[in-house]
Chains A and B, each alone.
Chain A
Amino acid sequence: MPARSPSHPIPHRLRLPLRACSLLLVLVTVGFWAAKGAHRGWSQHRVPVRKIDEVTGIVFTAYEDRFVPGVEVLAAGSALAAAIFGATFLLRASPTRPNPTS
């Protein structure tokens, strides 16, 4: 087992998987946001739907209980991914083992 520095508890060999995770997180976040309507406002916990009363001609708003992610979901996912990606630069390379043959 390579020795771990107390200030850097994550081993260097996790650098690549963590970067892959951060990329995956960005893709999942953007994909989820786009699949749910790519809403460019704040998240909606109920969605307004315009309806018309045929007799009176009144256009009214009814609400459907469903979640539509907004830009803050996009921002939070991207920020988390950026944080994970940035953290990988703090990982120090594993100390090289002494060559037993030398």
Chain B
Amino acid sequence: MKIPVFIACLSFGLAAIAGAAPRAYDFNDPKGVNGIQFSLDSVLEPIVGTASGVTGTVHFDPASPAATTGRIVVAARSLVVPNATQAGHIQGKDWLDTATHADITFELVKLTAVSTKENETTATATGKFTLKGVTKEITVPVRLTHLADAMGKRVPGTQGDLLVVRGEFSIKRADYGIQPGQMEDTVNPLIKLTLAIVGSAPKA
């Protein structure tokens, strides 16, 4: 009698562990909502644009958010600003040089100062940020919102969870070889980046 009970407990335990394992959230959003917004002060008005070509995967477990890992990739060519001339300059060799450096990436190394209340987790994300071929370690305050079984509300006929990642941080453009020391009196040396992206993990 003891052996079947042990096996049952083991099976239950393994199932629980399997159920609690981090799930992969795909950030290639079918509704095209994902975007990284950037802003830098300039003469006359701030230069504000959006990069919408977001892909990548984040492994997240709502029972253990501190163990979150992942990598977000943004296609540099997807970056747009309202003014066509400015868009050309930003994509050009002197600025982002998107012909050579196609991707902007953030690879999560660790989450610290993790605090979870209901379905929302706030934390400090430390990761490797790569822009224009230059990689630097940065820390970003992030907010993760886990929306269980919400996938079908966005894409009818599907089932699964959603993970919303929000964050805001600034970088020095000179650190990434973007016009270092140039035009600092007309274009702010700091670039503010705001991300609000959603990933989905379909249920098997």
A interface residues, Cβ below 8 angstroms from B: 40-48, 53, 55-61, 63, 68, 70-71
Contacts and interface: CB of A to CB of B under 8 A. Distances in A.
B82 A45 contact: yes
Nearest to B196: A58
Contacts of B45: 40-42
Interface string B16-59: 00000000000000010111010000001100101000000000
B66 interface: no
15 contacts: A41-B45, A42-B86, A45-B83, A46-B80, A47-B82, A56-B33, A56-B145, A56-B164, A58-B197, A60-B33, A60-B50, A61-B35, A63-B50, A63-B82, A68-B82
A74 to B, nearest CB: 12
A43 B86 CA distance: 10
A59 B45 CA distance: 22
Contacts, number: 61
Nearest to A48: B82
B102 interface: no
A59 B196 contact: yes
Contacts of B50: 48, 60-61, 63
Interface of B: 31, 33-35, 37, 44-45, 48, 50, 80, 82-84, 86, 145, 147, 150, 153-154, 162, 164, 196-198
A55 B48 CA distance: 25
A68 B82 CA distance: 9
Given A41-B45, A42-B45, A42-B86, A56 B80 contact: no
A55 B164 CA distance: 10
Given A56-B147, A60-B34, A60-B35, 15 more contacts: A40-B44, A41-B44, A42-B45, A42-B83, A47-B82, A48-B48, A48-B82, A55-B154, A55-B162, A56-B145, A59-B196, A60-B33, A61-B35, A63-B50, A70-B83
